[in-house]
Amino acid sequence: ARMEAKSRHRVVKVAVAQMTSSSDAEANFKVVESFCKESQSEGVQLLCLPECFAFLGLGAQESIVFSQKLDGPLMSRYCTLAKTYALYISFGGFQENKTDKKVCNAHVIVSPEGTIVDVYRKIHLFDVDVPNGMKFKESSFTQPGDKVIMSETPVGKLGVTVCYDLRFPELYGVLRRMGAEILLIPAAFTLKTGIAHWSVLLRARAIETQCFVLAAAQVGKHNAQRYRNETTKPPRESYGDACIIDPWGTVIARATVGKPGLVIAKLDLGLLSSIRTSMPTASHRRPDVYYAANSDKGRARDGAAQKATL
């Protein structure tokens, strides 16, 4: 009973980063190191970095050329930061080299010993044509992952995802059923989709799973000088709004609008038990009905198709 009481009152101090990465990998590394220093000085246990923290170039080909293996020199340097500053670090989206033409968008969890403890490779790829907005085809240079990752760490049970995954609630439901307490959703959301959907989707994922959400984010215009000098296109711009959300859906900490920096908060993991007990939605799920309805629709479609061919 004493152990259960202790687990209900675990408090974890976390930091979520908002940054404006560029094609200058060394400059990005220095920014991350400054976040590590600040996190250590604030007593943070878990630091979360956004998607593309190490590199954000002008296009797909630059990402492929930049990409490295996870045991390569750059990720090894980043792992050393975790050890030097005694932090768990969520590296929220690294261009992992897979082939000459493809990368994986890898979310890497590293321990305070500098060891990679889990790797999630993004399964939902961002292939979109936003009305009056950007066109993007992540699948043209990215190989999707095929595993759901829930990382059990001393700072909490972490549901590990990346950016566009946010739009697929089934994934987060699975993570909750795997035992997740904290959902990690690092991103480089576009300005247009961010304004419309970022905050409401994050809060929805927190509410429906009754988990904390840590959403590190890219912000602002990336490589503005290079775009001016080398292209006729406007620079890529990310929405930002890095934030921390509790299991009730309340935003408990939020980054300064438009500026890089850290958002720091304490998570009382005891709140999970309180909310999940008072509103036990997980036990109210009816998968028997959901899946039966899906099967009925499938049979109806098959029957209609069969009649059409007669």
Is 268 exposed, middle or buried (CB count within 10 Å of its CB: 0-12, 13-18, 19+)?
middle
Catalytic residue among 36, 48, 104, 163: 163
Name residue 119's amino acid. V
Catalytic residue among 52, 79, 104, 122: 122
Q: Is 122 a catalytic residue?
A: yes
How many beta carbons lie within 10 A of that of residue 237, not counting itself? Answer: 18
Q: Is 233 a catalytic residue?
A: no
Q: Is 163 a catalytic residue?
A: yes
Q: How far apart are CA 216 and CA 206, in angstroms?
A: 15
DSSP assignment of 212-228 equals EEEE-EEEEESSHHHHH
Are 175 and 158 within 8 A, CB to CB? no
Which token pair is 275? 């909310």
Catalytic residue among 51, 96, 181, 237: 51
CA distances from 298 to 115, 124, 199 (A): 46, 24, 34
- Would you name the residues annotated as active-site residues? 51, 122, 163
